[in-house]
Amino acid sequence: MLRGRLELPLGGQRISITGGPFDAMPDGARGLCLEARAARLAEAEWQLDVPDFGLPDEAALRAVLTRMLEAMRAAPDGAYHIGCKAGLGRTGTAMACLAIMAGVVQGDPVAWLRAAYNPEAIETPEQEDFVRRFARAALAR
């Protein structure tokens, strides 16, 4: 079950990223799996194990999202997916950080992601804080 879709304008193109459980990744999509126990883990192009309701390592997340953004810029017509178990907490956190790195977030990154992707995304106060710190760090760069 897909939870939503995020549209990112990159390099004059609109790139679409679906989100939800990793096991619901659309066929043919290039995916970032945030769930170590996903049945389709072997199909992930990118992987980052993040505990359920937990936070990613910031440097590791930045590195994997950098590779994902490079792939999106090189193949903007491709299908992309970010997923964890339910597609809300860890997925929403990663999607918000991806949008921050792409420079498309307006205002509060948590509110922006919830409006752009899914109102239930980014489930815990710790995930909210992580995304806001990530945004502040990106502005400082």
pLDDT at 24: 95
Burial group, residue 108, by CB count within 10 angstroms (0-12, 13-18, 19+):
middle
More confident residue, 34 or 139: 34
**Alpha carbons 83 and 70: distance in angstroms, whole number:** 19
- Given a contact cutoff of 8 angstroms between Cβ atoms, the answer to whether 54 and 63 are in contact is no
List the structure tokens of 138. 């990106």
More confident residue, 11 or 124: 124
Q: pLDDT per residue over 71-124, tens digit each?
A: 999 999 999 999 999 999 999 999 999 999 999 998 999 999 999 999 999 999
- Which pTM value belongs to this model? 0.96
pLDDT at 141: 75
**Mean pLDDT over the full length of the chain:** 95
DSSP 25: P
pLDDT at 87: 95
Task: Count other C-beta atoms under 10 Å from residue 45's C-beta.
Answer: 15
Residue for token digits 């590791």? 60
Confidence of residue 11 (pLDDT cuts 50, 70, 90): confident
Task: Count other C-beta atoms under 10 Å from residue 66's C-beta.
Answer: 12
Residue for token digits 């903007």? 76
pLDDT at 117: 95
